[in-house]
Amino acid sequence: MQRNQTNYVILGILAIHPHQSGYEIRKTIQQSVGFFWGESYGQIYPALKRLAAEGLIVPSSSGASSRANRQEYSITPAGHARLQQWLAVPYRDDPPRDEFLLKLFFGRDAAPGITAAHIRQMQEKLRRLLATLQELEPLARAHNSKNPGFPFWMLTLSFGLAQMRSALEWSESALAELSAVEANVTAAPQPADGIPAA
């Protein structure tokens, strides 16, 4: 069974804000749901063609842009129906893959300090993202608080914030725990098979 999630992000984004070009749609995605969703042009442009062929979106023009080589799209009633239909289906979480956790899990086999470095790398990423999202919130509130979508956007945001804060908290204690562990190991961390790597 196919899901073709790209189609639905596009429909959802156009439902919130019509008359957008492929280029703009991508930017909107990055700015609004970027912290948990990404789309590349290689996905978006073909998807727009397909959606238009199916009548779920239509080429449109708002007259707001002077650019010649630009095709805006808007969602059609059929597209909106399709979006709602998709929303009603129980979500399916795709098998997660977290390289950070994988490297953490195999930390035994890493040279000393490596795992701590990963954790710090993660902290930096999270802090940056957290800061961005926190700055975004009041702005969104000021501009869109009357939009019926607003409460849902805030719920999404608060979920992200909660996850990031919890991850950051964890990272502090993890670093502490780690340095305790690596201090205890007087010998160099044993490579399982006797031959240390370069």
Residues near DNA (CB under 7 A):
1-6, 21-24, 27, 38-43, 45-46, 48-49, 65-72, 95, 97
Binding mask 57-76 for its own copies (x = CB under 8 A): -----------------xxx
Using DSSP bridges, classify how beta strands 57-60 and 72-75 pair: parallel, antiparallel or unpaired: antiparallel
CA 73 to chain centre: 23
118, 100 in Cβ contact below 8 A? Answer: yes
- Of the pair 96, 194, the CB lying nearest DNA is at 96
Residue 46 interacts with, from its own copies, DNA, none (CB under 5-8 Å by kind): DNA
- Of the pair 70, 143, the CB lying nearest DNA is at 70
Strand partners, 58: 74
What is the Cβ-side half-sphere exposure of residue 119, based on CA atoms within 13 angstroms? 20
Residue 33 interacts with, from its own copies, DNA, none (CB under 5-8 Å by kind): its own copies
- Of the pair 68, 194, the CB lying nearest its own copies is at 194
Residue in the block written with tokens 């790597």: 197
Q: Does 134 bind its own copies (CB under 8 A)?
A: no
Output the CA torsion sign for 90, 94, 99, 103.
positive
- Of the pair 59, 151, the CB lying nearest DNA is at 59
Give the closest residue to 190 by CA, choosing from 105, 109, 116, 102: 109
* Total residues at interface with its own copies (CB under 8 A): 87
- Of the pair 71, 154, the CB lying nearest its own copies is at 154
Query: CA-CA distances (angstroms) from residue 27 to 63, 100, 112?
Result: 20, 27, 40
CA 52 to chain centre: 26
Per DSSP (E only), the strands in 4-53 are 20-21
Q: Does 106 bind its own copies (CB under 8 A)?
A: yes
Which residue of 41, 111, 134, 145 would you call a contact of its own copies, by CB under 8 A? Answer: 111
Binding mask 158-177 for its own copies (x = CB under 8 A): xxx-xx-xxx-xx--xx--x
Which residue of 27, 46, 70, 102 would you call a contact of its own copies, by CB under 8 A? Answer: 102
